[in-house]
């Protein structure tokens, strides 16, 4: 009788290996399911907060006992909480797009001419009411910036990049400080450089690279503002990368600074997203 090609012992070993692999995969699946459940809880928790605030303000308004000054203040709060809810919902939508299609190739936003100075002024108006309570002022420095040419890019996405940076600046700033946004044209690279700076929780140099990782939140950020997903800067980085720009963070003269550079021609001629 001829020798069997594979001995029983080898087969048993292979089986053991497969069982081990199977066990590891099941554990990974469990972890993914746990992460997903936590993420959904976080999402709903974050969205419920501004929606509840709006509901509570409207209840106050309908009771009809508020003076005109108070009414105006409450309406400003309603506006800012609605801004926050829209901002969060847009991030969650982008995040699920990124999970489903890492390269975001299915996002077929048309390219538009964007005046970054105006875009930042609009965002500052949107977020300003959120920071009144803590006496934080958002300033867009127009000198130089207004003369910068438009960039060709996907407007809703670029808007979300700066929305995420400004929302962080509002959240993590110390009371009675300024948030300053400015920009200028860089002829050598035919691009527009925008910086947003604020004074608040310090950036630990050891964490600077990690800030743009999916889900990263520094211990200081967690203790100052427990609700958060750590997805804002990850989304911002992914959008900037799609536009072949750069985004970095750092500390200058006591300011926390986020620098974003976007090419004026943007994706013109490359159009890899539209084909």
Ligand X SMILES: Nc1ncnc2c1ncn2[C@@H]1O[C@H](COP(=O)(O)OP(=O)(O)O)[C@@H](O)[C@H]1O
Q: Closest CB to ligand X among 24 and 135?
A: 135
Q: Closest CB to ligand X among 169 and 273?
A: 169
The entry of Mg ion, ligand X, none that residue 160 binds, CB within 5 to 8 Å by partner kind: none
Task: Check: CB of residue 255 under 8 Å from CB of residue 199.
Answer: yes
Smallest distance from ligand X to CB 35, Å:
15
The answer to whether 163 contacts ligand X (rule: CB under 6 A) is: no
Q: Closest CB to ligand X among 57 and 217?
A: 217
Q: Map residues 185-224 to x or -, x wherever contact with ligand X holds by CB under 6 A.
A: -------------x-xx-x-------x----xxx--x---
Number of other CB atoms surrounding residue 76 within 10 Å:
16
Question: CA-CA distance, 218 to 208, in Å (whole number)?
Answer: 10
How many residues of this chain interact with ligand X, rule: CB under 6 A?
21
Written as one string, the DSSP assignment of 178-215 is: EEEEEEEEEGGGTEEEEEEEE-BSPPPGGGTTGGGSTT
Q: Which residue, among 233, 152, 232, 248, has the nearest Cα to 192 in the 3D structure?
A: 152
The answer to whether 168 contacts Mg ion (rule: CB under 5 A) is: yes
Task: Check: CB of residue 194 under 8 Å from CB of residue 260.
Answer: yes
Number of other CB atoms surrounding residue 90 within 10 Å:
17
Residue list 182-241, contact with Mg ion (CB under 5 A): 232
Q: What is the end-to-end Cα distance of the chain in Å, rounded? A: 64
| Residue span binding ligand X (CB under 6 A) among the ranges 132-140, 149-157, 161-169, 265-273 | 161-169
Smallest distance from ligand X to CB 197, Å:
8
Query: Applying CB under 5 A, which residues contact Mg ion?
Result: 168, 232
């Amino acid at each position: 009788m001829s020798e069997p090609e594979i001995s029983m012992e080898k087969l048993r070993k292979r089986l053991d290996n497969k069982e081990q692999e199977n066990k590891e995969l099941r554990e990974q699946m469990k972890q993914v399911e746990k992460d997903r459940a936590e993420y959904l809880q976080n999402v709903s928790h974050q969205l419920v907060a501004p929606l509840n605030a709006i509901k509570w303000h409207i209840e106050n308004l309908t009771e009809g006992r508020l003076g005109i000054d108070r009414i105006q203040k409450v309406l400003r709060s309603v506006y800012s909480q609605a801004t926050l809810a829209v901002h969060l919902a847009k991030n969650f939508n982008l995040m699920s797009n990124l999970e489903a299609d890492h390269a975001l190739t299915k996002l077929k936003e048309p390219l538009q001419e964007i005046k970054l100075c105006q875009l930042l002024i609009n965002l500052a108006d949107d977020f300003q009411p959120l920071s009144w309570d803590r006496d934080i002022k958002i300033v867009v420095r127009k000198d130089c910036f207004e003369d910068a040419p438009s960039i060709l890019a996907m407007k809703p996405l670029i808007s979300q990049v700066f929305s995420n940076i400004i929302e962080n600046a509002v959240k993590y700033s110390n009371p009675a400080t300024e948030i300053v946004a400015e920009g200028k044209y860089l002829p050598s690279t035919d691009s527009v450089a925008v910086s947003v700076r604020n004074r608040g929780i310090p950036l630990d140099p050891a964490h600077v690279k990690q800030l743009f990782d999916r889900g990263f939140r520094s211990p200081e950020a967690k203790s100052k503002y427990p609700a958060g997903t750590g997805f804002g800067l990850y989304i911002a980085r992914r959008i900037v990368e799609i536009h072949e720009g750069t985004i970095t963070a750092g500390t200058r003269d006591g300011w926390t600074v986020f620098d974003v550079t976007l090419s004026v021609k943007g994706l013109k001629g490359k159009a890899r997203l539209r084909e």
